[in-house]
Amino acid sequence: MEKNTATTIFETLSSAVRLDVYRLLVRQGKAGLVAGEIAAALELPATNLSFHLKSMVHANVVTVEQEGRYMRYRANLALMLELIAYLTEECCEGNPEQCLPMMASPCAPESLCCPKPEQT
């Protein structure tokens, strides 16, 4: 991942509304939600939501697929995992074998954080 891509993702999710939308879509997994369901769940006016969804699609943070007259939105989990890998690629000074497994998460790669120093 390039630095500009990572920056775009962070800029896109720096809006509280967009972060709420993304987290809602993550909870839905592959099923995603149509725009009306997102608006209802977050109690947002459709016009306000449309603006945010357009920005999120443009940044590739969410994907959209037309289903008849509805648009179904899904969180781009692969992109987020790529972002996490980018942020942690130099973990433990580039020695990932020294890293401990992350807390259990259905979406997380296995080794993302460095071990804590041993207590003496």
The pLDDT confidence band at residue 96, using thresholds 50, 70 and 90, is: low
pLDDT digits (tens, 9 = 90+) for 59-76: 999 999 999 999 999 999
pLDDT tens-digit readout, 21-62: 999 999 999 999 999 999 999 999 988 999 999 999 999 999
Contact 91, 112 (CB under 8 A): yes
End-to-end alpha-carbon separation of the chain, Å?
39
Q: Is residue 85 part of a domain?
A: no
Q: How many angstroms separate the CA atoms of 57 and 30, rounded?
A: 16
CATH of the domain at 21: 1.10.10.10
DSSP 8-state symbol, 44: -
Same domain, 114 and 65: no
What pTM did the predictor assign?
Answer: 0.77
Rounded to the nearest angstrom, the gap between the alpha carbon of residue 51 and the centroid of all alpha carbons in its chain is 18
Domain hosting residue 110, numbered range: 92-120
86 lies in some domain: no
Q: Is residue 83 part of a domain?
A: no
Q: How many domains, in total, are found in the chain?
A: 2
Domain membership flag for residue 84: no
